[in-house]
């Protein structure tokens, strides 16, 4: 039963923008799809949890963290997360999969679609913007401090506006 109310509103967005959905789990209140940002193709999982009154979005990046770069990747994720006012990056410690997770409490179901669109745009923007920095640290041996310096200045300008 969790997630059925409001799920149709979110699915209507996918239909209106002609965005294919890979799978819908009505019982669990989940939608699975893919989305292309400017820099990366992301796997999308939308969760609508009625019990917790929470709209959740997880965007999974295609890259796995090389095991020899895990400490540097974790340091970068920590630095990136510190500067984000909403959402956070995660690394699956067993899978080494990179993801960006964000959520909002859903106060009123009539507004679920607008909340979904705003949360999705935020998540895609952040995951897409940080992807090049993540790739620098994972594959070019760039130290996390060096990769985040420019990004921290950029985020500060965005959030101060």
Q: What residues contact residue 134 under an 8 Å CB cut-off, 6+ apart?
A: 61, 63, 73, 76, 98
Q: Which domain holds residue 140?
A: 7-160
* CATH number for the domain harbouring residue 52: 3.30.1460.10
Q: Total structural domains in the chain?
A: 1
User: Tokens at residue 62, please?
Assistant: 């295609």
Bridge partners, residue 102, by sequence? 57
4-37 pLDDT per residue, tens = 568 898 999 999 999 999 999 999 999 999 999 8
Q: Which residue has the higher pLDDT, 141 or 44?
A: 44
Q: Tell me whether residue 1 is in a domain.
A: no
Q: Tell me whether residue 2 is in a domain.
A: no
Q: Tell me whether residue 29 is in a domain.
A: yes
- The model's pTM is 0.87
Q: Tell me whether residue 80 is in a domain.
A: yes
106-140 pLDDT per residue, tens = 876 668 888 999 999 999 999 999 999 999 999 98
Q: Tell me whether residue 111 is in a domain.
A: yes
């Amino acid at each position: 039963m969790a997630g059925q109310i409001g799920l149709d509103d979110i699915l209507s967005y996918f239909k209106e923008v002609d965005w294919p959905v890979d799978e819908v789990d009505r019982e669990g209140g989940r939608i699975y799809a893919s989305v292309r940002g400017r820099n990366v193709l992301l796997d999308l999982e939308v969760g609508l949890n009625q019990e917790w009154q929470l709209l959740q979005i997880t965007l999974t990046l295609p890259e796995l963290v090389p095991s020899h770069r895990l400490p540097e990747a974790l340091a970068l994720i920590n630095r990136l997360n510190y500067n984000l006012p909403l959402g956070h990056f995660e690394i699956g410690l067993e899978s080494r999969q990179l993801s960006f997770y964000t959520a909002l409490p859903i106060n009123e179901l009539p507004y679920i679609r607008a909340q979904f669109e705003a949360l999705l745009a935020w998540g895609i923007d952040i995951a897409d913007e940080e992807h090049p920095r993540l790739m620098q640290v994972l594959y070019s041996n760039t130290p996390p401090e060096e990769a985040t310096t420019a990004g921290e200045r950029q985020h500060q300008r965005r959030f101060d506006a």
